[in-house]
Each structure stands twice: as C-alpha cells, then as structure tokens.
Chain A
Amino acid sequence: MRPTSADRPRPASAASRRPVSSVTPRATPTQTVRPSSSQSIHHPYSGTIRPSSSQGIRPSTSQGIRPVSSASMRPISRLTARPQSRQLRANHLKIVSLCEQLVRNLQGDEDETEYHSSIDYATRSLSLEGTMLNKVGVTIEAGRSGQNDAWARIQSHDALADALETSYKRLKENFEKEHDLDQEIKALPSHLQLLFCLANAPESSTSTYASSYLFNLNAPPPAVEVLTWKKILEDDPFEGEHWEGVYGMPPGSIKNQREPDSDSDASSLWSLHSDDIDIERSSTLAHTTKITFPDVFAGFSHRHFQTYGYLCFIEKSRGPSGQTGMSTRFDIGNASTLGPTLQNVMGRNRAVPTEFVHLADKYIYEHDAVREVLIALQGRSNVMLHWQNDAYSATPRLLHLSLASQASILASLGERCTCLKHLRNFVTRVFSTPSGSKSKTRTLEAFADAVDAELRLLDTWCAEKEEQIVLATNGALPGQALVVSLLSLEVQTRDKFEGAFSVLLNVVRSVFGQDHSPRASPSTTTAALLDRLFAVIQENLERGERITAGVVMRVFIRSSEPLWSMVGQWLKDGMGIGDINDLDDEFFIESNGLGSGAFGVGLLDPDYWTEGYTLRYEDDEDGRRKGLPTFFRPVAEPVLASGKAVGLLKALGVGVSGIEWQWRSLAELVAGGADQDEASGLFSVSIDTLSSLIHDELAPYCQSTGLALSKAVVGECDFWRHLSTIEDLYLMRKGDAMSHFCDVLFAKMDSQQHWSDFHFLNTTFTDVVESSVNIGAGEWVQLSLVRLSYRGSKDKSVGRTVRGLEGLLVEYAVPFPLIYIFTHIYGFLLQIMRAKVALERRGDMKTYSKSTQLSLQVRLVGPGRTGGPNRTATDFGPVNEGPVAGPNRLRLPVRTFS
C-alpha cells in the first residue's frame, strides 16, 4: 500500500534500503527494530517527491469539538417522579365505589359477607380486565340494533320493532347533535354494547312499554302550563278553569268547558275541523311516567280522545299490518269487514269504546296464516299457534272470519299439531335415552325411527306446500291457480294423512302409558307393541282407512325387523354352547343359565339340551302368552327346536354349510307375499296370512337343520350299528350268546352261589362274547361299552325267584348324543327268560306254550329313521299277539320260545 501524502515526504530510496514505514511507529518495547530487508525495495514515482495534498491535513473545524448531547443528559421528567400507585389507586377507588353501588342495587347489602365478596369479585373482574377500551363498538352496535328490530318484526311484535327503531334513531340524533369533547357521556357505543349483552327475550310488559313509548312520542305530554297574570288578563272575565270555585260559583257556571260528545263511530281525523285541530294540539293531556297500554285509556276522559296526537295514533294502529286500513262498517261485498264488524258488535255489548276494540287484536292474511300453520305442523315456533298447557292455541285473527268460525277451523288443525308434537316428544325421548339402558330395546328404537320417518314425510309435504305458496306469491307458477286457505289446508292434510298420526299416538299411549316409558319386561313390551300395531292395521283396513293402515303397516314392518333379525340369527347360529345371556332380553327365546361352564351342567347332561333354552313367555289372566308376538306363535316351537339342532351340530363338530342361507328382511317377505302392493306400501295382510308367510319362510331352514342333524346322527354317530348292537343285547337277538350267558347265570343261581357279583357278571359276559367270536361269528358288541351290575335286593329268598333279576342292570355306553334315544329293557327280558326256564324245568312248558304265546314288541324311540334301512316290525321276527308279561306294556316281536 502506498503511503499517503499525509505522511512525511519520502526521501529517495536507495535500492537496497527500505524506507521507514510511514505508519505510525508502533510502540513495541519488546520488539527491536526490524532490519531492512534486502528484498523489499519500494520505488517511488519516477523519483519525484509528491507534495503534501491540501486534502491531506484536515483543517480544524468549528464542529470538531462537539458539545455533549442533551439526549445523553435528559432532565428527569416529573411523571417519572410521580408514584404510579397514586393514579391506579384513584382509579381503583372510583371503580370500587361504583361496584359497591352496583352490588347494592343488584343484590342488596343485607348479607354483609355476601355483599363484600360480591364487591371483591366485581372489583377484581372489572379493574384488571375492565380497563381495556372497546374500540369496535361502533360497528357492532349498528348491526345488533338492526338484528333486534328484524327479530321483533319476524315475531310480529311490530310495536316493539318500531319502538326500538325510533329510540335508536333518537339516540343517534341526540349524540350527533350534542357531540362535544367535554360532554358527559362519550362512549355511547360501549353503553349500547352493554345493553345488547344484557338483552333478554321480550315479555308482555315489554310490548306494553313499547306501545306506550310510541304513544308518548306521538302524543307527547304537554308542558305543564303555569298560570300567569298575562294569561288571566287575556281571558274574558269568568272564563277559564281558574275561575272555578271563585266567589262561590257552582260548577258548570263557567264557560269554556266542553260537553262530552255522544258515542260516535266517526272518531276520525276527518271529523275534526281545522280549528279544533289547532286547539287540540295545545290542549293538556294527563301523563304518567309508568304507563301501560291499558292504563293509557283507563285514565283518559272523553276530551282526551279528541287529541290530535291520539287520533293520529289510532288511525295508524287501525288495520292489519300491510293493509290499507280496516273499515268497521259491514260491506257484504267485502269479506274483510265481517270480522271487525262482529267484533264491534261484541265490543259494544261489553261497553268498550269502538276505537279500542281492535287495538288488542292482531290480524294476519290468510295465506300467511296457512304458512304459519304449515310451520306449526312441522313442530316449529310460529305466530299462529302457540304451545301452551300441552296443546296448541291460536292468537292472530283473520279479517273475513268470525272468532267462532276461525276457532272452529283452527281447532282441528291445532289438534293435529298437538298430536304431532306429542309424537315428536316421544321420538326425542327415545333417541335421547342412553343406548345401554334396559328400557331402550331394539324394537322400541326401531319403532321410534319408523315414527320419525313418517313425521319427516309430513315435514317434506309441508315444505312442498310452503314452496308452492311462495312461488305462487312471486308469480312463479304461471297459469296455475293456487287456492291457499285454512279450509283447503285442512282438507289436504286429511286426504294425505287421514288419522294416521293420532292412531300412532294412541298406540304409544296404550303400550307405554301417558309418560311414554315402558314398565313391563322388554319381551312383553315388544310383543304388546307389535300386537297392538297389527291390531290397529286390521281395524283400519276393516274401516276402509287404507292410508292410515298403510302408514301403520310401514311402522309395524320397520318395528318388527329387529325381532325378525333375531330369529334369523338364532336359526343361523343356534343355541350357544356354554354361552349364557347371549340373547337379547326382548327375544322370545331365553337362556336359563344351564351352560357348560364351571358352574353349569355339562353338554352330556340331557337337562342342558332340554331346559337350557326355552321360550320366554308368561301367561296372563286371559290365558294368552305375553312376551311372544301373536304372529310368531305358530313358529316359535319349531324355531326353538331348530336352534337347538344347530347347537347340537356345532357341539358334534359338524358344520351347517349344507343349509342354503338366503335370509330376507320382513319387508321383502311381506311385500312379496301380499295380495296388493300399492305405491304407498299398503297391502292387505291378515294375521293368519302373516303367520303363514313367516311359517313358509322359516320351514325350509328348520327342515334343512333337521336333515343335517339326522345325517350327522346316522353317519357321524354310527347310529345303525349301535342300534343293532342294542337290539342284539337288549332284545337278545343274539340268541346263542345270550342263551349261553343265561345258562351260566342260572346255574350260578341254582347252586345258591353269589351270582350278583360285578366281577362275575362282567367276566361271564366277556367270556361268552369272546367265545362266540372265536367260533367264527363277528364281533357283535364292543365289550368296553357294556357293563353289567346288580342293584337289587340282597335277600336270599328273593334271589331264588325271578324277582331277583329285577336289580340287574345292563348299561351300554352309547356315544353322545345317541344316549338319549334308547331305554333300559334288558332286565325285563331277562325276567321273562328266567320265568321260561323255570317253567321248563317244571315240565309245564309244553302245556303253557300251546295256550299262551309270548308276544313282546319293543318300540324304539329315536329321532327318526330316515336315511337308514327300513326297520319294520317284521324284521324282528314273527309277531305273536298275546298277553304281555310284566308291568310295562311293551310288546317285543322276538322269536317265540316254544
């Protein structure tokens, strides 16, 4: 870097010498001066010496020595010196005092503790957060005011809407007129915001106040006139009220008192002369601060009725909203004069002045009335019908109808609206019940849903009607004449729905009571509901009310679907193996708790298959079965048996895949089997028809299940082999083996030896069977399944007779489930054989055999013998009729022993 001109002029440098650096010499006491480098040779400009530049040395400036900034030494502000708590304390005290007043006004100060705590609360809430200024009030309050006006107009509170609008305008005008920075009330939007926040729904007193407010505005109270000497001197002598009682003059002797006019209907502005109007404008009028609408007229004298302002108010308030005016003179060509004329007559009878007769009435156009009634039918709040004391009552009036005729027309519509309202309340109550509640069954839920669907159809129809009215009003239905009247609405609802909803309400009340809550068990309630619905369908069909019957039928079908699906589920899954409480409480099949769990009976116990699942019903006083719907009774037993069969197949490990499962809903079933099927879903179905339809639908499933069980029993369980063995054993078809066994047994008996020993009996039998196998005959019995035992009397005298064989038991362990099929008859047959042998020994057998022929026949008890060989009585040998031995009347078609 080249040295600057500010440096000392550089002398000419020799090539070997490095000039001394022009940089400020460093103070490096520890370092020595660096010797010049032989390599650093700096050549100046062609040897010339550059003079010092005039810009190099900056002259001293006046600003060079800069004075100290005032900002760096700012004087201490008096605000910073003021303690902050003083301002806040003043504000706080102000708020506290105002809070005290507020709490005293709102709560009172009787309870000191409560009083102080409320003050603390208010102070805390308002002092910390309340000091934030609200800057958006101006726009908010304008919108809110308009909202309140519109809301009041929609609710037909015209006086309130007008009063709100007028008061708001006055406030704005007042605020704009008196706008001053020093004015007392500045934050007007905030005040309005407070009022809007505290606003409540209008009450009757609010409407009254609004009317009186408007009245006072239109007829402001005149200023109290102070009687001055000037006024007295202006009047003629003995004229004016101030002369009353003076000099003992009686009342009436002073002029300038107006006599009350006779009753007249022509109390209109047009009946007054212009002079009268000028005089009346300055007349006095009583004014009270807290004035209510009826009170306005109670305190008035007739003179007041002639006030110009009052008459303006009357003229304005006459006539329905939107109409040009209401005439009280009856005109036969004008239907709108009928109502007011009749009302006038009624008013005169009650000595009410004509002007006041119509003031309390609200009038409405008929097409608006029809729309309001349509809204009421849909269960929404409206102007025409009000819900009070569990019923609808009407308020506004129609001009062309008398009170009685209007009440008559609206009574039927009101009754229909009341019925719909009750139904809606029932549906809402059911839907709002928690799902886990025992009283809310699937059928009840389905019923409520079905009723709700019908109600929504009604709502849709009402909405369509309303749409037509609106379109017709706006001319969007060219060429179509739409008649909108209450009578036509009444006729249309009757034609469309008849009495369907009242019928449904009657069903609800008869089954669930007035409070719409089920009291009986779920199954009983379900059965009662379905039976009642079906009975109502029958009644209405018989009366020819097909629309009502159709509606109720739709409700019935939808309500029955849950129970129908339970039946399908039962037929498909069968009874649960070891499962307890796996069925709905409203299903007509119930589990008795005899499961195969640790505390239940086992699967091998016959009680489980017999009593584990039964029909859930109870007999009432009439002998009918409650808990079981009428149309399910013919199929209840087969359904139960079929379910048990499916359960047994599952226990055997045999699948039920062979059954074709094509389950249809009840609606499809009924629609497919009905005689008629109109567009509205109506069909004529009797209880028997429905029962037969259900039976025909379920029969294939029951039969398929039975067939599968038969196949399983015969095929899987080897039924015929065991049956053959049992016949061989119990019926002694294996004559040689059984004879051999009997010989051994009888020899033991004859030798007076102990023959009833368990070991002896079984060993003997085993030896006999094995010997017959060794001979060449096949194994006809599985020895492990046979067990002989004796449980009879030990008396020796009995043991010598045939009676001694009574205690002999032969048990054949038939595998499950064949064990339930066969009975023990072996002992009886053995007794017969013993008797035969004994008689033979005595040598009387020949004679006996000729005269008496044994004829025993055993009937096998089983589930059916389809699919196996045709076993008839002849298969067991020739059958001989004769006396039957033993107490049991069993006929055994065995070989006669002759």
Chain B
Amino acid sequence: MSSKETDRINAAQQTLDILHEISQLLNTRLDRETLTTCVRMIEGGVNPEALAAVIQELRRENSSLKQDNGRPASAG
C-alpha cells in the first residue's frame, strides 16, 4: 500500500473519529459502525435528511416491537 493511500486512509479515519465524537456530543445514539455505514451512504449520494428520517423510523419501529415482545432493542 502506497504512502499516499495510507495517508488517505488515516485522514478518513481521523475524520470519522471526529465525526463520531461530534455524534456522541450531540447524543445521536449512533455507534461507530452505524455511523460508518451512514457516512458511506451519504458519500454514495444519499440525502442526509432522508437518511435521518429512515433511521428515526427504524428506531421507532424497533421500540414498538420491543414493547410488543418485551425484548431489548438493538444498539444503534
């Protein structure tokens, strides 16, 4: 792997770390893995507001399922 490639990956990792820190400070309840997935989707051209709406809807469904079944909700 070339040094440029390594630098690029390190920079991306650093940016992702900072984004994760901001996400924690804003109390978005996104773990690192989910945040990475969201970043990839947005980089692929997905609208961030639409993605946020989808995430909130999935969380809502999960909490209603949890109430129905009495099982703990998945992290994310």
Contacts and interface: CB of A to CB of B under 8 A. Distances in A.
Contact of A191 (B14, B39, B56, B61): B39
A168 B22 CA distance: 7
Interface stretch (A103-111, A257-265, A786-794): A103-111
A182 interface: yes
Contact of A130 (B18, B40, B45): B45
Interface in B1-55: 8-9, 11-12, 14-16, 18-19, 21-31, 33-34, 37-55
A174 B15 contact: yes
A191 B42 contact: yes
B9 A184 contact: yes
Contacts, number: 179
Contacts of A111: 65
Interface stretch (A202-210, A763-771, A879-887): A202-210
B13 to A, nearest CB: 9
A188 B19 CA distance: 9
Contacts of B44: 91, 94-95, 98
Dominant secondary structure at the B interface: helix
Contacts of B52: 194, 197-198
Contacts of B29: 198, 200
Given A131-B47, A188-B15, A114 B28 contact: no
Given A102-B34, A171-B15, A122 B58 contact: yes
A799 B59 CA distance: 103
Interface string B58-75: 110110010000000111
A105 B26 CA distance: 19
Nearest to B18: A171
B41 A182 contact: no
B74 A98 contact: no
A171 B19 contact: yes
B44 to A, nearest CB: 6
Contacts of B50: 125-126, 129-130
Contacts of B33: 101, 105
Given A130-B45, A171-B19, A197-B52, A182 B27 contact: no
Interface in A200-253: 200-203, 206, 209-210, 213
A195 B28 contact: yes
A178 interface: yes
Nearest to A164: B25
Contacts of A102: 34, 37-38, 41, 54-55, 58
A429 interface: no
B46 A198 contact: no
Interface of A: 91, 94-95, 98-99, 101-103, 105-108, 111, 114, 118, 121-122, 125-126, 129-134, 137, 148, 160, 163-164, 167-168, 170-171, 174-175, 178, 180, 182-188, 190-203, 206, 209-210, 213
15 contacts: A106-B55, A106-B74, A107-B62, A118-B58, A121-B57, A126-B41, A130-B50, A131-B46, A137-B48, A163-B25, A184-B15, A185-B43, A195-B28, A200-B26, A209-B24
A-B pairs with the 10 shortest C-beta distances?
A: A197-B52, A184-B12, A194-B48, A130-B46, A199-B26, A106-B76, A198-B28, A108-B74, A178-B11, A105-B34
